[in-house]
Structure formats: structure tokens, C-alpha cells
A and B are shown apart, each in its own frame.
Chain A
Amino acid sequence: MRRLRRPLALLAGGMLLTAAAVAGPVGAAAAAPAATGYGWVRLAHLSPNTPAVDVYLYSYGMPNAEIVLHHVSYGTVSPYEKVAHGEYTVAMRAAGAAPSTKPVLSTNLMVHPGHAYTVAGMGPEKELRLQVLDDRLSTPKGQSLVRVIQASLKEHRVTVRAGHRLLARDLSFASVTGYTADRPGSVPVHAAGGSENWSGTVDLTAGSIHTLVVLDTASGLEVTSLMDAAGSGAMPAGGAGTGLGGTAPRPAAPVLPWLAGLASGLLAAAAAAVWLRRHRTVARHAR
């Protein structure tokens, strides 16, 4: 049995070395996040008796407009435009007026990174003003936010309900409510002035923010639902498990343990082969 022990010991040694070589540490590195320097601006015409206008958005002090909206009429709300943070000037001119002419109206706004703003022409034509609204960009968990802009001149005061929830009580013309949190879903909305009223349904989705605009139409009142911002209704927790490591950076293992494993394996194989051959011989002799 002495002969058997040597290959066994070699085998065991080789396996230990192999195991030691396979288990190895992995290096680490990580990058830091960077802040975005962008905000969002949208432009709206919400003055019922003001004719169509051209709206210009200038980076403060710059002669050329970054954005020009032509022939914007009552009830129009543009999509949000992503702009670099900083100070801007919004100017309104009569539709078709030359960009070089003096604007009818202008206002300045400061765009902070990650914030959104609605710049709306509001009020009656004689008292038209540009109002800058700070738009919310987060909701309570799983909820929906709603606010109301009252842009009806026919009805100076309007009360708006969404389901059983009162969104605005006797909201006066050219004013805006704060945001109200609401359960998501298809919600019946009712807007009532002194004589005119409107009923309809508004879809409120979880994790989204809405603005209801009360407008004058030829036939009376109308409520338009604007999607201000939308996100995930249910927010997954933490990061995503999107990798199994097959391409992860790994330091190269040292050669020696592998070589030792190879050598000991071959040695043991040779020993076993010799041993096997001898026993064949023994068996033949025995016959």
C-alpha cells in the first residue's frame, strides 16, 4: 500500500493548490454622479380676449431668442422645453410682429436646475400680465397631484370638484390653486360658475402631476387637463440586478498554483498508470 500513498498525496496537494488559485479577490472602482444643470419651461396663452401672440424665450441679455412660438392663441399650452439653468426673459408680441419691435409684454424668470415653470399670459387684455408658475415635479407615493388654473372670463369665479374632492372654491379669474393630492384613477370633474358649468372625466395616473385649466369656449365653460409631469406609479426599491458578472473586471490569477496543479495532476496520472500496468503484469503472471 506504500505505493498508493504517494499518488494520493500528490493528488490531494494538487487539488488544494487548485482550490487556492480559483478563490481570488476582485478589485473595486466606482464613479460619482454629477448634477444636471437643466430646467424646463413651457409657455401658455390663457387670456380669453387677447388675440394671438408670438412668444419669445431669451436667455437673459441675449439678442436672439432660444425659442419662438408663432401665433399662439387663447388656450394654447406648449410642451415643456428643456433649457440650461439660468435667467431668461419671456416676451410677447402681437402675432406676426417683427422680432425687432418692442414687445407688448415681458418678464424675467430664473430657471433653477431640475425645476419646471409655466409662463402664462393671464388676465383680461387690458391687464394682461405674464405670470410665472412654479410647477411641482414630485408626488406623494402612489398619488396624483392636481391644481386648477382659472382662465375663464365668462365666469369670474369658478368652483371645481374632482370626485368628492374640492379642488377650487370660487376661484377668481386669472388665479391658480396649489396642488391637491388625489387617488389615481378616472375621476369625474365638475366645474361650475354663476351660470355656466362643465362636467367630464379626467384620468389621473399614479405618480403624475396634472393641471386643470378652466377655459371659455363658444358654448360656455370647458376644462382642459394638462399632464405636467409623469413618473412611475410604483417606484421599485433600490437599484436593478442587471448583471451576472461574466464581464466584470478581474485581476489575473498567478500562474504558479495552476502550474503546480497541472504538474501534480500529470504526475499522479503517471503514477496511477504505472501502478495500473504493474497490476496487469501481476495478474498475467498469476494466470
Chain B
Amino acid sequence: MTDGRAGRHGRAGPPWRKVTRRPLALTMLLASLALAAVAGTGLLLRGGHPGRPATPLPAAATQLVPLGRPAALPRPAGHGQVPLPVALRIPAIGVRTRLIRLGITAQGTLQVPSSTSVAGWYTGSPRPGAIGSSVIAGHIDSYLGPGVFYRLRLLRPGNKIFVRQADGRLATFRVTGVHQYRKAHFPTARVYGPTPDAELHLITCGGAFDDATGTYLSNVVVFSAEVRLSHSYSTVRSQPETSCYSG
């Protein structure tokens, strides 16, 4: 090549050209193939999806109800006796998760689980099964697919929710309502405010997704109240066990 002899097209390049061009051509080839691959993948995934609901609810016959001794009924007094919650089970929508603890973020918002596959109990709220509005939050989805509360919005009044407590007992709740609220108008008092009975409020996201901020614009909240075994609680006499610690 030192003589600068002409190539097939009668053009003679200086000696450095073929040295630099081959890697360049290789890079071009690889880049083009990568582009084709990206475009091909995009074509395949282009269809997106219709959003929730994606899968039907399991048939009633396959809904396994957890076993366990029922938790003690909430008492008008004796606060703080209810054990900590450890697991959540919602047979109607196939939810089965352990419960982590959630606090408040530095911004003052509710901390959410770092994993999208577990739910968490907000430790600032009453324990599930104690008098008051207990709050459990979980993700509807991750970046890729469904999260632990993907089908939360499909719950209907009457569906049962079970919370296993640290002593192994189950607190049983019955769904009373499922509502969707814009986050800009979140009903803080209704979700976190005092209730006179043992309620469990489940929170996840819903509605439209804002790609600009990477957040859903709404929250789905499921309201449920603890199931009492019977109305004959006249034996729940406050006096013996609810008297304040004698001083």
C-alpha cells in the first residue's frame, strides 16, 4: 500500500484511510443493527396495554380463607393491647403479603414500601383490630408490572380482609367502600382521622398516570371495618379490665 496503488474504483486512498475506516464501518454496522433491534422491540411492545383490570378475580371456590383464632374484639378501653400486625391476606384479589412498618417522609408524606411486592402498616395509625382508623399502603405497580395492590380497586363491599397479628391471631375486616380520590384532593381526615370502631383503610394508586412526574394522579382507598362475631357483647363489661391502672 505504500505505493498508493489505485483500488477497484480507481481511487487510491492514503495509507491511514483503510486503517481508520474499518473500525468506523464496523461501528456503523453495530449501531445500525442496534437501531433495528430497538425499533423492532418497540414495534413488538408498541401495543401497550388497556390498564387495569387485566385479570379476572379468582372463582369463589378457590378463595382460601386463612385459619387462626379470631382476634379479641376491640374494647372501648384497654388501648394498646392489640398485637402488632405481621401479615395481610385478601383472598378475593389474591393478596398475600407480610407487612412492613411505614412512617412519614421528610416531606411529610406517607412513606411507601421500597418493594412493590409488600404492603406496609403506617405506624402512626392505630394497630389493625384496635379502635380507630388503621392504615396500610401498598404499590399498584412497579416500573415493569403489577404490584401487591394491583387489584385493590376490584374489591367490593362485603369482601373480607385478614390481618395476622404478632400473636398469630387474625383480625377480620369487611370492605365497606372503595373510592378513588385525586391526590390533589386527598381526604386526609377521612382516611387518617379518628373513627369510633376498628377500621382498616388500604391505600394504593389509581387513575391516570402522569408521565411528566412519574406518578399516578389519584389514590384508591378501600375502607373496611372489623367483623364482630355477634351483637351479644353485653359481657364486654368495661369495668373489670378497662379501669385505669390504679395509682
Q: Which residues of A sit under 8 angstroms from B58, Cβ to Cβ?
A: none
Whether A282 and B8, one on each chain, are in contact in the complex, defined by CB atoms closer than 8 angstroms, is: yes
> Smallest distance from the beta carbon of B181 to chain A beta carbons, Å?
6
Q: Which of B48-56, B61-69, B93-101, B165-173 contacts A (4 or more CB under 8 A)?
A: B48-56
Asked if A265 meets B39 with Cβ closer than 8 Å, knowing A229-B194, A237-B107, A243-B140, the reply is: yes
Q: Does B158 sit at the interface, judged by CB under 8 A?
A: no
What string of 1s and 0s marks CB contacts (under 8 Å) between B183-222 and chain A?
A: 1101111001111110000011111111100111111000
Asked if A252 meets B48 with Cβ closer than 8 Å, knowing A207-B194, A230-B132, A238-B109, the reply is: yes
Q: Does A128 sit at the interface, judged by CB under 8 A?
A: no
Whether B112 and A240, one on each chain, are in contact in the complex, defined by CB atoms closer than 8 angstroms, is: yes
Whether B51 and A250, one on each chain, are in contact in the complex, defined by CB atoms closer than 8 angstroms, is: yes
Q: How many chain B residues touch A (Cβ–Cβ < 8 Å)? A: 118
Q: Does B91 sit at the interface, judged by CB under 8 A?
A: no
Name B215's contact: one of A70, A82, A241, A254 (CB within 8 Å): A241
Whether B232 and A255, one on each chain, are in contact in the complex, defined by CB atoms closer than 8 angstroms, is: no
Whether B217 and A30, one on each chain, are in contact in the complex, defined by CB atoms closer than 8 angstroms, is: yes
> Smallest distance from the beta carbon of B1 to chain A beta carbons, Å?
4
Whether B141 and A243, one on each chain, are in contact in the complex, defined by CB atoms closer than 8 angstroms, is: yes
What string of 1s and 0s marks CB contacts (under 8 Å) between A154-177 and chain B?
A: 000000000000000000000000
Q: Which residues of A sit under 8 angstroms from B8, Cβ to Cβ?
A: 278, 281-282, 285
Q: Which residues of B sit under 8 angstroms from A107, Cβ to Cβ?
A: none
> Smallest distance from the beta carbon of B112 to chain A beta carbons, Å?
5
> Smallest distance from the beta carbon of B130 to chain A beta carbons, Å?
7
In angstroms, Cα B76 to Cα A227, docked, is 5
Q: How many chain A residues touch B (Cβ–Cβ < 8 Å)? A: 114
> Smallest distance from the beta carbon of A17 to chain B beta carbons, Å?
8
Q: Does B59 sit at the interface, judged by CB under 8 A?
A: no
In angstroms, Cα B193 to Cα A148, docked, is 22
In angstroms, Cα B187 to Cα A40, docked, is 20
In angstroms, Cα B195 to Cα A236, docked, is 17
Q: Does A123 sit at the interface, judged by CB under 8 A?
A: no
Q: Which residues of A sit under 8 angstroms from B180, Cβ to Cβ?
A: 30-31, 33
Q: Which residues of B sit under 8 angstroms from A228, Cβ to Cβ?
A: 76, 194, 196
Report B21-43 residues with CB < 8 Å from chain A CB: 21-22, 25-26, 28-29, 31-40, 42-43
In angstroms, Cα B21 to Cα A233, docked, is 70
Q: Which residues of A sit under 8 angstroms from B7, Cβ to Cβ?
A: 282, 285-286
Closest to A95 in B: B234
Classify the secondary structure of A's interface with B: mixed
What string of 1s and 0s marks CB contacts (under 8 Å) between B103-115 and chain A?
A: 0100111101000
What string of 1s and 0s marks CB contacts (under 8 Å) between A62-78 and chain B?
A: 00000111111101111
Whether A258 and B141, one on each chain, are in contact in the complex, defined by CB atoms closer than 8 angstroms, is: no
Name A245's contact: one of B38, B52, B209, B244 (CB within 8 Å): B209
In angstroms, Cα B188 to Cα A36, docked, is 15
Q: Which residues of B sit under 8 angstroms from A189, Cβ to Cβ?
A: 244
Q: Does A185 sit at the interface, judged by CB under 8 A?
A: no
Whether A236 and B80, one on each chain, are in contact in the complex, defined by CB atoms closer than 8 angstroms, is: no
What string of 1s and 0s marks CB contacts (under 8 Å) between B1-21 and chain A?
A: 100010110000100001001
Q: Does A269 sit at the interface, judged by CB under 8 A?
A: yes
Q: Does A94 sit at the interface, judged by CB under 8 A?
A: no
Asked if A250 meets B205 with Cβ closer than 8 Å, knowing A72-B234, A245-B211, A261-B39, the reply is: no
**A81-B197, A240-B219, A248-B216 provided; 19 other pairs, C-beta below 8 A?**
A27-B208, A33-B187, A34-B179, A80-B196, A203-B80, A207-B193, A209-B194, A232-B135, A235-B192, A239-B218, A242-B139, A242-B147, A243-B206, A244-B142, A253-B42, A262-B40, A265-B32, A265-B38, A273-B29
Binding site for A on B (CB under 8 A): 1, 5, 7-8, 13, 18, 21-22, 25-26, 28-29, 31-40, 42-43, 46-52, 54, 73-77, 79-80, 104, 107-110, 112, 116, 122, 124-126, 130-133, 135, 137-147, 149-150, 176-177, 179-184, 186-189, 192-197, 203-211, 214-219, 223, 225, 228, 231-234, 236-239, 242-247
- 13 example contacts (A-B, Cβ-Cβ < 8 A) are as follows A30-B180, A30-B218, A31-B180, A78-B234, A240-B112, A240-B204, A245-B141, A246-B142, A247-B49, A250-B48, A262-B43, A268-B32, A283-B22
